[in-house]
Amino acid sequence: MSRTRTRTFAALGLAALLGLSTACSDKTAGGNPAAGTPGKPADLALTDTTAKGTGPVDSVRWLLAKEPKSLDLDVRSDSDSNALLANVCERLFQTQPDLSMRPHLADSATYTDPTTLVLKLRAGVTFHDGSPMTADDVVWSLRRHAAEGRNESDEFERVSTIERTGDTEVTVRLKEPDALFTKALAGNAGVVLDREQAEPAGKDYGTPGRTDACTGPYTLKEWKAGSRITLERYDAYWDKSRKPLVRSATFGWADENAMVNSMTTGAADGTYLTTMSAVPPLAGNGALTVSYGSSSRAWTLIPTERGGMKDPRVRRALSLALDRQGIAKAAFAGLATPWKTPLGPGAWGYEKATFQAGYDALQGAPAQPTAADLDAAKKLVTELGPAAPTLVIANDGTPTRNLIANAVVDAAHRIGLKAQIKTMSGADFTSLYTDQALRKSVDMFADDWYISKADPAGFYDNALTGSNNNWVGFSSPEYDSVVNEALRTTDDAARARLLVEAERRFTADAVWLPLVQVPNVLVTSTKLTGAPASMCNVAYPWLADLGAKG
Amino acid sequence: MTLLQAAVPSVATASPEPAKPKRTWPIPVRIAAGFLLLTAASAILAPLLAPYEPDAIDLNASLAPPDGAHVLGTDQSGRDLLSRVLHGAGPSLVAPLALLALASVIGIALGTLAAWHGGWVDAFVSRVTDVMFAFPGLLFVILIVSVFGDGLTTAVVALALAYSPVVAKYTRSIALAERAKPYIDAYRVQGMGGFAICVRRLVPNLAPSLIGYLVLMFGQVLMGMATLSYLGFGAQPPSSEWGLMVKEGQAALVRGALWPALVPGTAIALVVVAFNVVGVRISDRLGVRER
């Protein structure tokens, strides 16, 4: 038989198979999520953590969305590296499953005056090489985080000096009061590294083949680049009250399809999902438990320097025309909520009622545009006249961003704006945060943002005049004044009121264009339980809570 | 044969000539040819035939199953799959056609040059094509796309360069045989230049073989283009090129919606099958295909 004929038969067979599969495919996949799948997030039961694990587990296989680029959080951090290293590296403060924060490696933190913070360090803390944590390690670590170009340097913008003022005492002096600084110490800005381990490694720290320099309940056993990362329980962990039940955890990574297959076939034991479209097939599987937790994660459109979004009228018009309800349904399997701010309610760590009332009063970001919204948007575009730009939205080809890009183009067209999609590689897309030249080739890109601090003040400083992330060049003296005042205000109630005002101004000018808010999703085998479901998993040692179901 | 006919008695000449055997095409070939004509017509008439604009999104109809409103269902963005597959027929068929045309121009020129000149020119062209054969085609294309940027035009040029050695090799082999025929020497004796002989006599005489070969290649080339788009190097969103549609539809698989990937996938499979069926027949008729 000739090769051509073989190909023909193969293709005919494929076509027949495709037709058969189409006929047999799930007819309910679209409009109505299949039985067993959850409803809208508003109907989901959010839980901080799952039932306590009671039995020991020798090893678990855990999935990440992608392989971390680095295990040095000062160099690069994302959801995956944070979730992994949360079990290895500890902070001066620690985020709890209910998203509150409390001192951890610091025994206490006291403001002796509004600009002087004294950290008393916990006694008996040891690194994984057995050496004790010292005040010098803490000072060195904080200075490392604060160095220019480091990931967390923005958390130290108000810091004047960091000094060792005793054997177990570190004093941080601020240029002005900073209500967020202690909260930042619960995030990556508060990680304490063993100077003797990390400093000699230099740029190689956090790369494959290197050990960690941390204090957490798990230690980095192996990073086999491109294949897996293995963590092992650190049996000499300093906190003897904590007894992790899982001895070893192997982390792999998989795209959405592979993740669903791995979880449903039992090839993996658990994952924190970063995409919602994988939830329905997993939630319907009897061998898996899907839990939903509170999150500050929200998807937003982030305008850049290119210029198309410079005029607030363009941003406002586009915001009015976006079909957030449709995006929530189509891109997030109905598991997301149309949202009016760039932060989910997981960021409301205090004064929830004040933040909720402020949120409810916000205008300009409808769930679904009404005729009046569209008319108002068209009016704004008409005001632009010939200056109306052709908008370019970046897309990395992933399903969620692809759909959002389509929705943005559609919204723009509906109000008379021209818009097009620019597809770029995943690496280029990631580089949008660091490469200004690349950013200048697009007007906006969609991404999900969250803050590790349960305080909206941690986000709104991004829109201050001249802020590193204020690429669109938004500048408002009134906004700056309100946010700066909030950052100086240590009284929670007063700060919440100021932040609600900042939020109103931010939304009114559509500095960023919020889209939807998504819950944190934990998926585990039914044999496992104990891990927190809230998004504390990016900073809390969740693996130490995991165990076998009793 | 002529002599035999001449020897036939006159009685035989008086009888009616035996009817020529009918050159009928087998039913599968007719069906395949009809399908290809239908596909080409759909590509041209898509704006008239498609019930919706190919890029018109309806997020509330995301992943709608086939029904009266959307005969083939919708994709994740709520775009009508029938409309997209009809509009996508254009770029999905024209791009491989353009690619094949470009690969043919380069390949036929190189193959003819090598066969005609022989010697070091032949050796040089043959070694270059050997090297290109040895280099993984997809990697070569990805390299070109990485340097010059993605998009359908770059993908067409890159794939054309990747396929041109295939055409050059084939052209050289048949041109060598053709060049040895006496009529070529006759043209030389008449004083016709080498370039004129090649362009006006040699290549036209190779045309039937080349056409049969290229028709057979079309299915493979179409798959190549679809693969590039699937990998993100070819057509870019919001194009409805079929390979890109498969890529976009893949995401719906985890939600149990198979049609966004299967509809364009089936279209690709059917067109490739049809081209293979028709191509085999044409090649057989032209005596191209090796048995």
A15 to B255: CB separation less than 8 angstroms, yes or no: no
What is the pLDDT, as a whole number, of residue B51?
95
Q: Phi and psi for A249 in degrees, rounded to 5? A: -130, 130
* Distance from C-alpha of A124 to C-alpha of A134, rounded to nearest angstrom: 10
A420 forms beta bridges with A392
| pLDDT by residue, tens only, chain A of 550 residues | 444 454 445 444 544 544 444 444 444 444 333 333 444 444 578 899 999 999 999 999 999 999 999 999 999 988 899 999 999 999 999 999 988 889 999 999 999 999 999 999 999 999 999 999 999 999 999 999 999 989 899 889 889 999 999 999 999 999 999 988 999 999 999 999 999 999 999 999 999 999 999 999 999 999 999 999 999 999 999 999 999 999 999 999 998 888 999 999 999 999 999 778 788 889 888 999 999 998 999 999 999 999 999 999 999 999 999 999 999 999 888 889 999 999 998 898 889 899 999 999 999 999 999 999 999 999 999 999 888 899 999 998 888 899 999 999 999 999 999 999 998 888 889 899 989 999 999 999 999 988 877 899 989 989 999 988 899 999 999 999 999 999 999 888 999 999 999 999 999 999 999 999 999 999 999 999 999 999 999 999 999 999 999 7
The answer to the question of residue B42 being in a domain is no
Q: What pLDDT is attached to residue B21?
A: 61
pLDDT of residue B280: 87
Enclosing domain of residue B161: 31-36+74-286
pLDDT tens-digit series, residues A437-446? 999 999 999 9
Domain assignment present for B66: no
Ramachandran region of residue A383, left (φ > 0), alpha (ψ -120 to 50) or beta? Answer: alpha
DSSP letter for each residue of A335-363: -SEE-SSSS-GGG--S-HHHHHHHHHT--
From the CA of A25, how many Å to the nearest CA of chain B?
A: 6
What per-residue confidence (pLDDT) applies to A536? 92
Report strand pairing: A513-517 vs A390-395: unpaired
Residue with tokens 């019930």: B51
The fold for domain A298-517 equals Dipeptide-binding Protein; domain 3 (3.10.105)
- Domain annotation covers residue B64: no
- pLDDT of the residue at A150: 93
DSSP string for A69-138: S-S-TTT---HHHHHHHTTT--BSEEE-TTS-EEESSEEEEEEEETTEEEEEEPTT-B-TTSPBP-HHHH
Chain B residue closest to A331 (CA)?
B76
CATH code at B187?
A: 1.10.3720.10
Burial of A353 (0-12, 13-18, 19+ CB in 10 A): exposed
- Residues of B (238-257) whose Cβ lies below 8 Å from A: 238, 247-248, 250-257
User: The tokens of A240 are what?
Assistant: 């003897």
* HEC readout, chain B: CHHHHHCCCHHHHHCCCCCCCCCCCCHHHHHHHHHHHHHHHHHHHHHHHCCCCCCCCCHHHCCCCCCCCCCCCECCCCCEHHHHHHHHHHHHHHHHHHHHHHHHHHHHHHHHHHHHHCHHHHHHHHHHHHHHHHCCHHHHHHHHHHHHCCCHHHHHHHHHHHHHHHHHHHHHHHHHHHHCCHHHHHHHHCCCCHHHHHHHHHHHHHHHHHHHHHHHHHHHHHHHHHHHHHCCCCCCCCCCCHHHHHHHHHHHHHHCCCHHHHHHHHHHHHHHHHHHHHHHHHHHHHCCCCC
CB–CB contact A281 B255 (8 Å): yes
Domain boundaries of chain A, sorted by first residue: 49-69+216-294+520-549, 89-202, 298-517
| Cα–Cα separations (whole angstroms), residue A313 to A133, A503, A508, A533 | 53, 18, 10, 39
Residues 6+ apart with CB under 8 A from A405: A393, A394, A395, A421, A446, B237
Contact A121, A107 (CB under 8 A): yes
What are the pLDDT digits (tens) for B79-112?
999 999 999 999 999 999 999 999 999 999 999 9
- Give me the pLDDT at residue A281, please: 84
State the DSSP code for A52: P
Interface of A with B in 445-464 (CB under 8 A): none
pLDDT for position B18: 62
Fold for the domain defined by A49-69+216-294+520-549: D-Maltodextrin-Binding Protein; domain 2 (3.40.190)
Cα–Cα distance list, A350 to A428, A488, A532 (Å): 38, 16, 20
Inter-chain CB proximity A260 and B255 less than 8 Å: no
Tokens representing residue A249 in the block: 């955890």
- Cα distance between residue A104 and residue B183, in whole Å: 94
Give the mutation candidate from B242, B255, B289 for the A interface (greatest A CB count, under 10 A). Answer: B255
What does the block give as tokens for A534?
A: 């809230």
The parts of chain B modelled with pLDDT lower than 50 are 1-14, 290-291
**Residue B15 domain flag:** no
Q: Cβ contact (<8 Å) for B269 and A26?
A: no
CATH number of A89-202: 3.90.76.10
Which residues make beta-bridge pairs with A224? A228
The amino acid occupying position B185 is: D
Tokens of A231: 């963590």
Contact B76 A2 (CB under 8 A): no
CB-based contact A22 B263, cutoff 8 Å: yes
Q: Would you say residue B231 lies in a domain?
A: yes
Considering only residues 65 to 124 of chain B, which have any Cβ-Cβ distance to chain A shorter than 8 Å? 65, 73-74, 76-79
Q: Distance (Å) from the C-alpha of residue B49 to the closest C-alpha of chain A?
A: 22
- Alpha-carbon distance values, B107 to A19, B127, B151 (Å): 38, 14, 23
Instruction: Write down the pLDDT at residue B19.
Output: 62
Task: Supply A142's token pair.
Answer: 């904080």
pTM over 0.95: no
The reported pLDDT for the residue numbered A43 is: 59
B283 contacts B269 by C-beta, under 8 angstroms: no
At residue A503, the 3 state secondary structure works out as: helix
CB-CB: which of A4, A25, A325 is closest to B276? A4
Q: Which amino acid is at A198?
A: A
Count of structural domains, chain B: 1
Q: Which residues of chain A lie closer than 8 angstroms to B63, CB-CB?
A: 29-31, 330
Confidence at residue A3, expressed as pLDDT on a 0 to 100 scale: 45
Provide the pLDDT for residue A399.
Answer: 85
Nearest residue, CB atoms, A281 vs list B77, B150, B256:
B256
Q: Please, which residues 294-333 of chain A have a Cβ atom closer than 8 Å to chain B?
A: 323, 325-327, 329-331, 333
Beta pairing class for A106-113 and A116-121: antiparallel
Quote the pLDDT of residue B172: 94
With beta carbons less than 8 A apart as the criterion, state whether B238 and A406 touch.
Answer: yes
Contact A25 B219 (CB under 8 A): no
Residue contact B250–A257, C-beta within 8 A? yes
| Residues from chain A contacting residue B28 (CB–CB below 8 Å) | none
User: Measured between CB atoms, does A354 come within 8 Å of chain B?
Assistant: no
Cα A411 versus chain centre, distance: 26
**For testing contact with chain B, the best of A1, A2, A14, A406 (most B CBs within 10 A):** A406
A501-506 contacts at long range (C-beta below 8 A, 24 or more positions apart): A502/A456, A502/A460, A503/A341, A503/A358, A503/A359, A503/A362, A503/A456, A503/A460, A504/A358, A504/A361, A504/A362, A505/A476, A505/A478, A505/A479, A506/A341, A506/A342, A506/A460, A506/A463, A506/A479
End-to-end CA distance of chain A: 61
